[in-house]
Amino acid sequence: MAYITMRQAITDALREEMILDESVFIMGQEIGVWGGTYAVTRGFYDEFGPKRVRDTPISEMVIGGAAAGAAMNGLRPVAEFMTINFAFLALDAIVNHAAKVHYMFGGQMKAPVVYRAPGGGGRQLGATHSHTPDAIFAHFPGLKVVSPGTPYDAKGLLKSAIRTDDPVMFIEHHTLYQLRGEVPEEEYTVPIGVSDVKRAGSDITIVAYAKGLQVALDAAEKLAAEGIDAEVIDLRSLRPLDMGPVLNSFQKTFKAVIVEEGYRSYGIGAEIAARLQEESFDYMDAPIKRVAQYEVPLPYSQELEQSALINVDRVISAVKEVL
Tell me how far the alpha carbon of residue 103 is from its chain's centroid: 24
2-5 and 180-183 beta bridge pairing: antiparallel
Look at residues 88, 117, 234, 94 and name the one whose alpha carbon lies nearest to residue 166: 94
Nearest-angstrom CA–CA distance, 45 and 188 = 25
Q: What is the signed CA dihedral for 166, 153, 201, 313, rounded to 10 degrees? A: -100
Nearest-angstrom CA–CA distance, 113 and 99 = 10
Catalytic residue check, 60: yes
Tell me how far the alpha carbon of residue 206 is from its chain's centroid: 17
CB 25 within 8 A of CB 52: yes
Angle, in degrees to the nearest 10, between helices 6-20 and 151-163: 30
Phi, psi of 163 (to 5 degrees): -85, -20
Residues 6+ apart with CB under 8 A from 316: 219, 222, 223
Nearest-angstrom CA–CA distance, 156 and 187 = 9
Catalytic member of 17, 80, 102, 129: 129
Element (H, E) at 127: none
Nearest-angstrom CA–CA distance, 56 and 58 = 6
Residues 6+ apart with CB under 8 A from 285: 254, 255
Nearest-angstrom CA–CA distance, 8 and 177 = 8
Catalytic member of 17, 60, 80, 261: 60
CA distances from 189 to 31, 35, 93, 192, 271 (A): 24, 25, 27, 9, 27
CB 130 within 8 A of CB 259: no
* Active-site residue set: 60, 129
